[in-house]
A and B are shown apart, each in its own frame.
Chain A
C-alpha cells in the first residue's frame, strides 16, 4: 500500500476549498488529481506484486510496465536503428486515425440527425425503423469490420471509406436518440404558447424545438466523437491500412514480449486522441451555446 500512501498528501493539498474563479482551471485540477490517483493505483498495485499476496493480474514489469518506462519509451526510437521516436510515429498514426474518425463522425452525425428529424416528424417511421436502429447497435463491431472492409475492397473504394463507415456506424446512434429526446424536450405549455400566438409548425420547430434540442445534441456529439475513434481503430485492424493507430496497436502487440511499454504507449495515444476529439466538440459547444444553457443542463 506504500504506493497509494505516497499520493495521499497530494490529494489533501488539492482538496481544501480554494476558490478558483475560473471553472476551467478547477476542472483541469480535478483532472490532474484523478490522473495522479490512477497513477498511484497503478504503481501501488505493482508494489503489492512484490509481496507474496495472490493477485488477480500479475504485476511484473512485463504485464504492467512502470509508468516511467512507458513515458520514457515515447521519447526513444520506435525501432532499433530508426531515427524516429515512438512518440513521433504514434503522433503521425494518430493524425491519420483522427482524419478517418472525423470523416466517420461527420457522416454519423448527419445520418443520426437526419434519422432523429425523420422520427420526430413521422411516428410511423419511428415505430417501423427504431427497433432496427437499436438492433444495429447490438451487432458486434469486431465481427462485421472484416466484412465491411472486404466489400469495400470489391468495389475498389479507398481504404479510409470502410473505416469511416464503421466509425459512423458507432457514432450515429447517440445522435439519433438525443435528437429525438431534444426535439421532444419542450414542455406541453411551451407548445401551447406557440399555438396561442398562431405560430406555424415550422416556426415552432425553428424557434422552440431546435434551440431546445441543442444541449442534448451536443451531449450526443461528445459521445459520438469518442465512439468514432473506437470505431476507426476497430476498422483499421482488419483493413491492413499501414498508417493508422490500429496498425501500430497490432504491431506492438506482436512484439509485446520484447517491449510491452510500447503497446501501452500506443493505447495512451489512442485515449489521448479520443479525449482531444471530445474536447474539440466541447469547445465548439461553448462557442455555440450561451453559458446559461450549459448550467441548466
Chain B
C-alpha cells in the first residue's frame, strides 16, 4: 500500500521577461512521488529544479497544470503546515539563539512555552546539537548551521521535506557526514523528502528515486529507481551496484545532451 504524496500533471512554468520575451523554466512535467520516498531532482544549472521545488512548496504558481500534495492543493498543504523547507543557506535568524531558531515554527503555530522549548530541544537532539542550544548562529560552523535549519524544518513534523541544495555550500567531507546524518533522520522520521542537487553521487547515495532533468526548457529526461539496500551506510558507496547506478544516471543525462 503506497500512497501518493506529490502529484504533478502537465506542469508548465513560464517566466515573463522584458520586451515580451519569456523563459520557459518548466514544460510538461508529470511526476508522482510516493509517501515515504526520498526523491532527488538532478540536473545542470538552470534546468528548473528550484522552480519545480518551489511550485510544490507553494512559493510559486505554475503557469499551467495541476499539483496536489497529500491530495490537497499546495496552498492548502502549506497552510496545514505539511512542509518543512531547507535552503542552500541556513537562513537562521542571527538575533536568536539556536533553540529560538528551532522553536520559530512552533511559535508561529502558537505552541505555549514549556512544551515549545521541550520540543525544540528534542529536535536538537535529533540533529545532535543539544549542547549548542544557547549559542548564536555565528558561533556554529556551516554544517552545524545547516543541521539547525534541518531541525527547524522538522519541528512541525512535516509530511514533506523540501530541500534545495542544502549541502551545496559545504565542503566535501562535511557534506558526506551530513548525508549520513540526513539518512538517519529520514529513517527516524519517515517523512517524504524532495531533494534538489547538482551532484550525481549525492543523488544516488541518498535517494530511492532520481529524477533527471534537462534545461531549455526544463523537462524530466528520465527517472532512475535506486534500489540499493536500506539503510544506506558508509559502505554503500563501495558497492558495485552503487557504481552501476552512477553510470545509469550519467547515461540518462548524456542521452539528453545529444
- The reply on B62 being an interface residue by CB < 8 A is no
Residue of B nearest to A197 (CB): B105
Select B108's contact among A197, A290, A293, beta carbons within 8 Å. A197
Assembled-state Cα–Cα distance A194/B94 (Å): 15
Known: A189-B87, A211-B93. A196 touches B104 (CB 8 A): no
Q: Chain A residues with Cβ under 8 A from B89's Cβ? A: 187, 189
Assembled-state Cα–Cα distance A237/B110 (Å): 56
Distance from B152 Cβ to chain A, minimum over Cβ atoms (Å): 8
Assembled-state Cα–Cα distance A291/B156 (Å): 30
Is the beta-carbon distance between A196 and B138 smaller than 8 angstroms?
no
Is the beta-carbon distance between A192 and B87 smaller than 8 angstroms?
yes
Distance from A200 Cβ to chain B, minimum over Cβ atoms (Å): 8
Q: Chain A residues with Cβ under 8 A from B91's Cβ? A: 187, 189-190, 193
Per-residue CB contact flags for chain B residues 70-108 toward chain A (1 = under 8 Å, else 0) read: 000000001101011101010101110000000011011
- The reply on A198 being an interface residue by CB < 8 A is yes
Which residues in chain B, 114-169, are within 8 Å of chain A measured between CB atoms? 136, 138, 156, 162
Is the beta-carbon distance between A290 and B95 smaller than 8 angstroms?
yes
Tell me what chain A mostly uses at the interface: helix, strand, loop, or mixed.
helix
Per-residue CB contact flags for chain A residues 37-80 toward chain B (1 = under 8 Å, else 0) read: 00000000000000000000000000000000000000000000
Distance from A286 Cβ to chain B, minimum over Cβ atoms (Å): 14
Q: Chain A residues with Cβ under 8 A from B79's Cβ? A: 198
Assembled-state Cα–Cα distance A184/B45 (Å): 28
Distance from A287 Cβ to chain B, minimum over Cβ atoms (Å): 14
Distance from A90 Cβ to chain B, minimum over Cβ atoms (Å): 41
Distance from B70 Cβ to chain A, minimum over Cβ atoms (Å): 14
Q: Chain A residues with Cβ under 8 A from B215's Cβ? A: none
- The reply on B14 being an interface residue by CB < 8 A is no
Is the beta-carbon distance between A207 and B107 smaller than 8 angstroms?
yes
Known: A198-B79, A208-B93, A292-B94. A193 touches B138 (CB 8 A): no
Q: Chain B residues with Cβ under 8 A from A199's Cβ? A: 108
Which residues in chain A, 98-153, are within 8 Å of chain B measured between CB atoms? none
Distance from A39 Cβ to chain B, minimum over Cβ atoms (Å): 40
Assembled-state Cα–Cα distance A198/B136 (Å): 25
- The reply on A203 being an interface residue by CB < 8 A is yes
Q: Chain A residues with Cβ under 8 A from B85's Cβ? A: 192-193, 196
- The reply on B48 being an interface residue by CB < 8 A is no
Q: Chain A residues with Cβ under 8 A from B57's Cβ? A: 196
Distance from A84 Cβ to chain B, minimum over Cβ atoms (Å): 49
Assembled-state Cα–Cα distance A194/B104 (Å): 9
Q: Chain A residues with Cβ under 8 A from B247's Cβ? A: none
Distance from A191 Cβ to chain B, minimum over Cβ atoms (Å): 10
Is the beta-carbon distance between A197 and B136 smaller than 8 angstroms?
no
- The reply on A6 being an interface residue by CB < 8 A is no
Which of B78, B79, B83, B108 is most buried by chain A, counting CB atoms within 10 A of its CB?
A: B108
Select A211's contact among B59, B95, B109, B136, beta carbons within 8 Å. B95
Assembled-state Cα–Cα distance A295/B138 (Å): 10
Assembled-state Cα–Cα distance A138/B57 (Å): 48
Which residues in chain A, 211-239, are within 8 Å of chain B measured between CB atoms? 211-212, 214
- The reply on A296 being an interface residue by CB < 8 A is yes
Per-residue CB contact flags for chain B residues 48-80 toward chain A (1 = under 8 Å, else 0) read: 000000000111000000000000000000110
Q: Chain A residues with Cβ under 8 A from B156's Cβ? A: 197
Distance from A209 Cβ to chain B, minimum over Cβ atoms (Å): 11
Assembled-state Cα–Cα distance A195/B162 (Å): 13
Known: A192-B87, A292-B138. A198 touches B95 (CB 8 A): no
**A positions within 8 Å CB-CB of B:** 187, 189-190, 192-199, 203, 207-208, 211-212, 214, 289-290, 292-293, 295-296
Q: Kindly list 8 other residue pairs between chains A and B, CB separation below 8 angstroms, not including A192-B59, A195-B58, A199-B108.
A: A195-B59, A196-B59, A197-B105, A211-B95, A290-B136, A292-B136, A293-B95, A296-B94
Q: 17 interchain pairs (CB within 8 A)?
A: A189-B87, A189-B91, A195-B58, A195-B59, A196-B57, A196-B78, A196-B84, A196-B162, A197-B83, A197-B104, A197-B156, A198-B78, A198-B79, A207-B104, A211-B95, A290-B136, A296-B94
The 4 closest A-B pairs by CB, nearest first: A196-B85, A197-B105, A199-B108, A292-B136
